[in-house]
Structure 1
Amino acid sequence: MKNVKTLALAATAVAAMSGNAFAADRSDLHGSDYKWMQFNAMYSIGEKPENPASGDQHNYLEMEFGGRSGIFDLYGYVDVFNLANESSNHGDKNPGTGKSKLFMKFAPRVSIDALTGKDLSFGPVQEVYFSTLFNWDGLIGGDANGQNVGVNSTFWGVGADVNVPWLGKTGMNLYAYYDMNAKEWNGYQFSANWFKPFYFFDNKSFLSFQGYIDYQFGADATDDLYVPKTSNGGNIFFGLYWHSDRYALGYGLKGFKDVYLLEDKGGLVGLESTGWSHYLSATYKF
């Protein structure tokens, strides 16, 4: 992590793994540049949506990365599911389902402050961005023509780093959603993410409270016979993590409400899209 001199600054830089940006040094466009990458070994229990008959428990490896370079702020990750390709794996991540083993999130933002050379901060708002978000995976089944279809979700909007009491700098973004498969705009999404170190040990390791919210709204509800859609829904993640310079261990509790706008237990498929899940993770930082 470039220009990190103390553990407190290191904690701030690690905050980027939840999407937070390092505020630009406006006197030197690249004066606050940094980058980071880490590998997370993850295990998920009860992730939604899930088939109530089989549940959903699976392992996966996540490569997570991010940083700041001039006007650009970046966060992203690539997930590889069911590493051993076990057919006994619960849920839709076993090799017999034909589902993709990969999922990718890519979230670049452009600092409007850095782009214009002006300080646009006001009140608790520290920096303003043009924000984008892209979600991609492989196969999710076939369309009406029998062609395999993957997730191609894009989000476009504005964002800010906001100083929230106790949490500190919190990344917030408001997007309009454009479905690349359907070639149409369909609703909006509000996202927020935070990283709060709150207890430091004598060996300079620390505990953090970290998490995020993704909430979609204003979408078109549909009464599909198999998988009906709602007009709003989302998820929230609360994580408790121990961090050292090189390693991290954590537990996360994630709540879902009609996630991906799938109506809970709706239609003939009857997927559960509302409820709680648990995540265990072990991290190595590069």
Structure 2
Amino acid sequence: MKFFYILIILTVIILAPSSLKAEDFIEWQTTNIQLLRGHDYQLGDKYRTITTLEHANKWRYGDFYGFIDLTLPETDKSTYYTELSPRLSLSRVLNKDLSFGPVKDILIATTFEKAKNFGPQYLYGLGFDLDIPTFTFATLNFYIHENTQKPDTTWQTTFAWKKPLNLFEENFVIEGFADFQGREGASQANQLIVPRFLWNASDTFNIKENKLFIGIEYQYWHNKFGVDGVTESVPQLQMKLVF
């Protein structure tokens, strides 16, 4: 898996002119910090407060998404979990239109995952940017999933989306992701579905447009961590501040 990350880095170095400025290379970027509070979590403390730092950008030859969660349980020690997901656009690298049907672009998709006290996990495969009317974005990634602490590999499919919504003259956002992962060694197949329903509260609190969001994130995790029969269903209060 490390080969794929090295390949992406080398591709960026080769394709990027030495005189290119950062503002020319990065087309857009956004960073936010989130505060979440929920209870009835499984496999650990029932009550938790989670702080998330999230970043996304689109650059000349692909895109990048990453986040780090810092979890503060009521009684246990704090933990962290991070994901880094660079993708390389084949249409941009090849300078060729690869769109078909609802697919806007095809990408080489990779993800690095790391949790405290656990070894890294590597995912690699193909990603698709989808053109769905009224959606800000929709992506579908198909991965081979490698856990360095397990001898086997498995598959994973990840769908992510964002859609603006106007209700009662107020602006809302529906966004989230869904992971579907196959069985791996003794771990069972599991499904993690995390939708968010957020109110754009920027105008109400006289904050710059599209900077403050308040709402609910719901986390449904069947066979959490691949543990047979452990299902987590947790609504979480969320506040998100966009930089």
TM-score category, normalised to shorter length: 0.7 to 0.9
Q: Distance in 1 between matches of 2:100 and 2:34?
A: 36
Alignment of 1:263 with 2:241, yes or no, is: no
Q: Distance in 1 between matches of 2:176 and 2:194?
A: 5
**Partner letter of residue 126 of structure 2?**
V
Q: Distance in 2 between matches of 1:274 and 1:200?
A: 32
- Paired residue for 2:199? 242
3-state DSSP class of the match of 1:33?
Answer: strand
Q: Distance in 2 between matches of 1:187 and 1:211?
A: 23
* 1:85-104 to 2 correspondences below 5 Å: 89=74, 94-95=76-77, 101-104=79-82
Among 188, 193, 196, the residue aligned to 2:163: 196
Q: Distance in 2 between matches of 1:46 and 1:155?
A: 29
**Partner letter of residue 51 of structure 2?**
L
How many angstroms does 1:200 deviate by?
A: 6.3
How many angstroms does 1:115 deviate by?
A: 0.9
Alignment of 1:59 with 2:49, yes or no, is: yes
- Give yes or no for contact 1:217–1:233 (8 Å, CA) kept in 2: yes
Greater relative CO (CA pairs within 8 A, separation 6+)? 1
Alignment of 1:33 with 2:27, yes or no, is: yes
Alignment of 1:50 with 2:43, yes or no, is: yes
Among 101, 104, 108, the residue aligned to 2:86: 108
| Amino-acid identity (%) | 19
- When normalised by structure 2's length, the TM-score is 0.79
- Paired residue for 1:120? 98
- What's the Cα RMSD here? 2.3
**Partner letter of residue 27 of structure 2?**
D
- Give yes or no for contact 2:134–2:164 (8 Å, CA) kept in 1: no
Q: Distance in 2 between matches of 1:276 and 1:159?
A: 28
- When normalised by structure 1's length, the TM-score is 0.68
Q: Distance in 2 between matches of 1:284 and 1:168?
A: 19
How many angstroms does 1:166 deviate by?
A: 5.6
Q: Distance in 1 between matches of 2:80 and 2:148?
A: 18
Alignment coverage as a number of residue pairs: 213
Q: Deviations over 1:107-154 (max 9, x none)?
A: 111111111111100010011110011111221xxxxxxxxxx24111
- Paired residue for 1:136? 114
**Partner letter of residue 108 of structure 1?**
P
